[in-house]
Chains A and B, each alone.
Chain A
Amino acid sequence: MLSSGRRFDRTTALFLSLLAASFIFATFDVRAQGGGAGGIMRDGAQQLFAPAQKAAALAVSPVVGFVDGISNIAGLRAENERLQAEVGRLEQQLRETAALERRVAELEAISGLEAPEELAAVTARIFAGGAGTFDQIRYIDKGKADGVLVGNAVIDEHGLVGRVDRVTENNARVRLITDPLVAVGVRVESTNETGVVTGRGSSALRLEMFQATQPVREGDVVVTDGSRFPPGIVVGFVSETADVVVGFALRTSVEPAVPLSEVDFVKVVVGWSPLDAGIEEPGGLVEPPPFVDPAAERR
């Protein structure tokens, strides 16, 4: 069929037209930054596919669990031994923490501070991932109806998972911290210095600290700095020691605290926004002093 010149021309013309249409779609979508007509189409497609995806996820979960179990069986004995050692260590830590909690409570009582209340959060189940090979996104079964908003932090028991970047009535899309387009303001707990963590796809995160004065060590805990996500959420652990070089930013890699390929349930932090950090509180603005003309004052 392709040997016919006319047919070949028509097919090639259609091919070029579809390429041009794709290019136009991409250009407009990038310019609209995910909003506009593209955003409406995405929300519509997600609404349409969500029931089938939820049903499929439910149907295949026992099979997936079985396959996971089979593939993990070799490592179970070593994992068991490691966990027993971990339990012993954690029990010791728990006793120390209980003692510390008592001391903190006493100190708070003395200084008149109120203990920070737990942030309001909605528990959600992940029912689908992205359709593309390189997507670093997940779909969760909670949306606007549950109070989820674009920008909300998504966490699990290990730490930060990502942030909500699209919301429909009953579902939301979460962009993971491993996505190259996600940047998280962080603080290294051991040095108390701040930096930015960015995703690198399926690899470890990249930590950049532009004003670091102290080195970071392998295993150092990296937590959110409170600029865009609630402060103190564990993002990951430094995986390579890095020293400060004068005139250069400190760069190293960070292993995410959350095993992102094994997450089934997450919590969406709905009770916090960057404005709560007091950056733009009306009362926090300081009026500039009134201008006094020295010449007029002399007169």
Chain B
Amino acid sequence: MRSRGLAIALASVLLSVVVQTTVFAPDAVRLFGTAPNLVLLVVVVCVRWLDPDPALLLGFTAGLLVDLLGSAPLGLWAMSLTVVAYLTLQVRDRVADGPLVVGVGILGLTFVGQFLFVVLGTLFGLQTITDPQLVKNLVLPSMYNVILAPGVFWVLARLLRPQQRVWST
């Protein structure tokens, strides 16, 4: 069951990378010049259901994939998404699993993950922090992730925990 869950999570991450680079590519579906950070969203949702060690490895692997298909030095997204996975692990068992909490959590985690990347990117010479539209590029994807979250949560919860209700109260 555990290996099945990990396999589904990995497949979801692979699919999200393909969707991120094609459907949400800069010349495709974009609203106000930005797109959701789907890979980060899938990591957060999968980590919600995985054991701690596979969850961290999933965050690291997803980040490494984003690094490999992006222009940043290898390891920056890996570091950011590992931190996001770790933070998700820290909060997931301590708060009630309701729509509002999940929404706020995804908003915060997306923002933190992207902000961490911006800081790391600047430290490693990418000059990401010099973008005058930085705030917009941090805030809007976080909001889009909140909008997409119910759908992603619904699908992954059914795949990873078929017997459990999605929004248990």
Q: Do A and B bind each other?
A: yes
Residue B137 lies at the interface, judged by CB distance under 8 Å to chain A: yes
Rounded to whole angstroms, the CA-CA distance of A263 and B83 in the bound complex is 35
Greatest chain B CB density within 10 A among A2, A18, A19, A42 is at A18
B51 interface residue (CB < 8 Å to A): yes
Q: Is the CB of A179 within 8 A of B18?
A: no
Q: Which of B39, B131, B132 contacts A131 (CB 8 A)?
A: B39
Main secondary structure of the interface of B (DSSP, over half): helix
Q: Please state if B137 and A202 are interface contacts (CB–CB under 8 Å).
A: yes
Partner-binding segment picked from A21-29, A93-101, A147-155, A236-244:
A21-29
Which residues from chain A contact B75 at a C-beta distance below 8 Å? 21-27, 29
CB distance from A141 to the nearest CB of B (A): 13
A26: min CB distance to chain B, Å: 4
| Binary interface encoding of chain A residues 28-56 relative to chain B, with 1 for a CB under 8 A from any of its CBs, else 0 | 11100000001001100110010011001
Asked if A275 is at the interface (CB within 8 A of a chain B CB), the reply is no
B76 touches A26 (CB 8 A): yes
Which chain A residues in 247-295 approach chain B with CB under 8 Å? 260-264
Q: Give the nearest-CB partner of A176 in chain B.
A: B26
- Asked if B166 is at the interface of the complex by the 8 Å CB criterion, the answer is no
> Are B128 and A201 touching (Cβ within 8 A)?
yes
Chain B residues whose C-beta falls within 8 Å of the C-beta of A73 in the assembled complex? none
Q: Is the CB of A22 within 8 A of B82?
A: yes
Min CB–CB distance A49 → chain B (angstroms) = 6
* Contact yes or no, A26 B124, CB < 8 A: yes
Determine chain A's interface SS by DSSP, over half rule. helix
The reply to whether B18 and A49 contact each other, CB–CB distance below 8 Å, is: yes
Q: CA A4 – CA B120 in complex, angstroms?
A: 32
**Cα A133 to Cα B143 with chains together (Å):** 14
Distance in angstroms from A212 CB to nearest chain B CB is 22
The reply to whether B27 and A126 contact each other, CB–CB distance below 8 Å, is: yes
Q: In the docked arrangement, what's the CA distance between A187 and B70, Å? A: 31
A25 touches B51 (CB 8 A): no
* Interface window among A8-16, A83-91, A104-112, A217-225: A8-16
Within 8 A of A (CB), among B27-74: 27-30, 33-35, 37, 39, 51-53, 56-57, 59-60, 63-74
- Are B131 and A22 touching (Cβ within 8 A)? no
Q: Is B71 in contact with A137, judged by CB distance below 8 angstroms?
A: yes
In whole angstroms, how far apart are the Cα atoms of A136 and B26 in the complex? 9
Of B2-10, B86-94, B100-108, B150-158, the stretch lying at the interface with chain A is: B86-94
* CB proximity of A198 to chain B, nearest CB, Å: 9
When distances are taken between beta carbons in the complex, the residues of chain A under 8 Å from B67 are: 25, 131-132
Q: Is B20 an interface residue (CB 8 A)?
A: yes
Q: Is the CB of B137 within 8 A of A23?
A: no
A42 touches B68 (CB 8 A): yes
Indicate if A180 sits at the interface (CB-CB under 8 A): yes
Shortest distance from the beta carbon of B114 to any chain A beta carbon, whole Å: 6
The docked-state distance in angstroms from the alpha carbon of A15 to that of B83 is: 8
List the B residue with the shortest CB-CB distance to A136. Answer: B71
User: Which residue of B is nearest A7, CB measured?
Assistant: B52
Asked whether B163 is an interface residue with its Cβ less than 8 Å from the other chain, the reply is no
| Structural contact, A131 and B27, CB atoms closer than 8 A | no
List 18 additional contacts besides A53-B18, A133-B34; criterion CB under 8 Å. Answer: A1-B51, A10-B53, A11-B52, A14-B52, A14-B53, A18-B78, A22-B75, A25-B75, A41-B68, A64-B28, A128-B22, A131-B66, A132-B71, A133-B117, A134-B72, A135-B71, A180-B127, A200-B132
Binding site for B on A (CB under 8 A): 1-3, 7, 10-11, 14-15, 18-19, 21-30, 38, 41-42, 45-46, 49, 52-53, 56-57, 60, 64, 67, 126-139, 173, 175, 179-181, 200-203, 260-264
